[in-house]
């Protein structure tokens, strides 16, 4: 990717000439204690990640028509949560709890300010180094959320055009052509729209996972600076982007390949390196965005990339520059979560066994812990959600604008904290919306590979 390296170097040189190149200066904190305790199997704390209760007001709202006493009697037991993103079940792990408590006792929330002012510490740096190692990348930049990480990448990317067209708006031929999957996350879409309005990029949307359509768009585009951006594992459909085919197209056209691995990180691959590790293409991904609020069970976002891209993003990524850095207790808990993920590999094995078990019970061709049962209209989805609630499961109906009209669904997510019995009872409750096991062609599942 020599072309892109040269472009980024030129943009960095321009920032340096304007004295606008920024760098983080970590505030020194005592290093974390010895590696936290890990376990060979699930403990009682794991159930806390998937057993919940709803307050009475929420129950009355979700189950209209019944009185408060009726709702309380009907929902006396805890609900099993099947709609969260805590795939590894780490949010309730003792090591994560202890790390957060210890850091809070020693530092409070830590220095409060943006990372470029005073919010960046040696704890943040340590987590960045761990994530870069996990993702097989040169460097990493911590962000407050995954949403802000995607926005930062897009605004920094667009800035390449404006920095290299000094004193004027870039001509259309000088702009960056960004090719985006039709079902990409809202944070990617919003970031592209922002830089498109600033006349820094030209955007193209290719049909979901349709490599023939993407190939056609790439071959028809005369702009030299091309970027393809995609989710790695799509949050509402549960299918993977065809990363091997994208890598082949990258070799053909020389575009920058950016992925959002929010739902793949820690879940996919032997080491939890995400979808690129699963598909054996880690070296072919240029920039990977992720989140720490899903499988890590904590909070935050990150960008793993080359050192030159990190320098550009932290100097031009507005959502990073103008956001307060993550609190130290949160960063300490992330550091513990990454350690637990490395040591407790059985959690990934449990997740994928659950995927296989769910598939065997339903005969659905699912390929990830995200399972979408499409039910149609909003009213149908709300009825299905109420049924699941009465059956003892928290499965939130997903409606527009998150999904298109008449494709409302029950989005189910599997976690290492679930038991096989949880899944069996869930499938029984889902039976009115599952296809005939003997007529798989009628499957309404959106998840496919």
Q: How many CA atoms lie within 13 A of 84 on its CB side?
A: 26
Return the pLDDT at 183.
96
The whole-number pLDDT of residue 66 equals 54
- Per run of 10 residues, the mean pLDDT along the chain (length 449 residues) is 92 96 95 90 95 86 64 68 97 97 97 97 98 98 98 97 87 92 97 95 97 98 96 96 98 97 98 98 98 98 98 97 98 98 98 98 95 94 94 94 92 98 97 67 32
pLDDT number for residue 70: 53
The CA distance from 415 to 334, in Å, is 18
pLDDT of residue 58: 82
Q: Which of 115, 117, 109, 113 is nearest to 128 (CA)?
A: 115
Could you say which DSSP state residue 382 is in?
H
pLDDT value for 444: 33
What's the distance, Cα to Cα, between the start and end of the chain in Å? 28
Three-state SS across 428-445? HHHHHHCCCCCCHHHCCE
pLDDT at res. 440: 41
Please give the model's pTM, rounded to 2 decimal places. 0.93
Count of positions (residues) in the chain: 449
Domains along the chain with CATH numbers: 96-342 (3.40.640.10), 345-442 (3.90.1150.10)
Q: Where are the beta strands (DSSP E) in 120-175?
A: 139-143
pLDDT of residue 447: 33
State the Cα angle at 42 between 354 and 369, rounded to 5°: 25
3-state class (DSSP) for residue 126 = helix
């Amino acid at each position: 990717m020599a072309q892109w390296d040269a472009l980024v170097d030129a943009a960095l040189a321009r920032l340096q000439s304007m004295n606008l190149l920024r760098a983080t200066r970590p505030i020194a904190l005592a290093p974390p204690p010895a590696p936290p305790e890990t376990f060979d199997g699930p403990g009682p704390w794991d159930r806390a990640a998937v057993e919940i209760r709803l307050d009475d007001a929420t129950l009355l709202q979700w189950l209209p028509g019944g009185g408060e006493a009726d709702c309380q009697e009907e929902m006396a037991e805890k609900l099993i949560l099947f709609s969260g993103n805590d795939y590894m079940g780490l949010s309730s792990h003792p090591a994560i709890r202890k790390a957060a408590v210890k850091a809070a006792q020693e530092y409070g929330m830590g220095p409060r300010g943006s990372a470029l002012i005073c919010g960046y510490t040696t704890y943040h740096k340590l987590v960045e180094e761990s994530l870069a190692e996990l993702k097989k990348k040169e460097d990493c930049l911590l962000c407050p959320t995954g949403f802000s990480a995607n926005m930062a990448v897009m605004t920094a990317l667009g800035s390449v055009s404006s920095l290299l067209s000094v004193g004027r708006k870039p001509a259309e031929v000088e702009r960056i052509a960004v090719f985006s999957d039709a079902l990409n996350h809202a944070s990617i879409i919003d970031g592209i729209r922002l830089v498109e309005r600033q006349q820094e990029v030209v955007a193209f949307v290719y049909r979901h996972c349709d490599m023939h359509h993407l190939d056609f768009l790439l071959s028809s585009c005369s702009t030299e600076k091309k970027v393809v951006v995609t989710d790695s594992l799509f949050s509402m459909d549960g299918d993977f982007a065809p990363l091997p085919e994208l890598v082949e197209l990258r070799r053909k056209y020389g575009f920058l390949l950016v992925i959002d691995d929010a739902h793949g990180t820690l879940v996919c691959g032997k080491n939890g390196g995400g979808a690129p590790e699963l598909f054996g293409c880690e070296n072919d991904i240029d920039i990977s965005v992720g989140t720490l609020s899903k499988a890590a069970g904590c909070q935050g976002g990150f960008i793993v990339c080359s050192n030159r891209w990190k320098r550009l993003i932290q100097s031009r990524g507005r959502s990073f520059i103008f956001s307060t850095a993550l609190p130290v207790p949160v960063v300490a808990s992330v550091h513990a979560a990454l350690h637990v993920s490395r040591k407790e590999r059985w959690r990934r094995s449990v997740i994928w066994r659950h995927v296989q078990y769910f598939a065997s019970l339903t005969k659905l061709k699912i390929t990830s812990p995200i399972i979408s049962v499409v039910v149609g209209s909003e009213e149908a989805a709300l009825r299905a959600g109420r049924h699941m609630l009465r059956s003892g499961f928290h499965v939130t109906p997903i409606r527009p604008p998150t999904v298109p009209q008449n494709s409302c669904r029950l989005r189910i997510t599997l976690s290492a904290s679930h038991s096989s019995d949880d899944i069996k009872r869930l499938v029984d409750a889902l039976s009115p919306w599952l296809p005939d096991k003997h007529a798989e062609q009628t499957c309404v599942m959106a998840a496919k590979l």
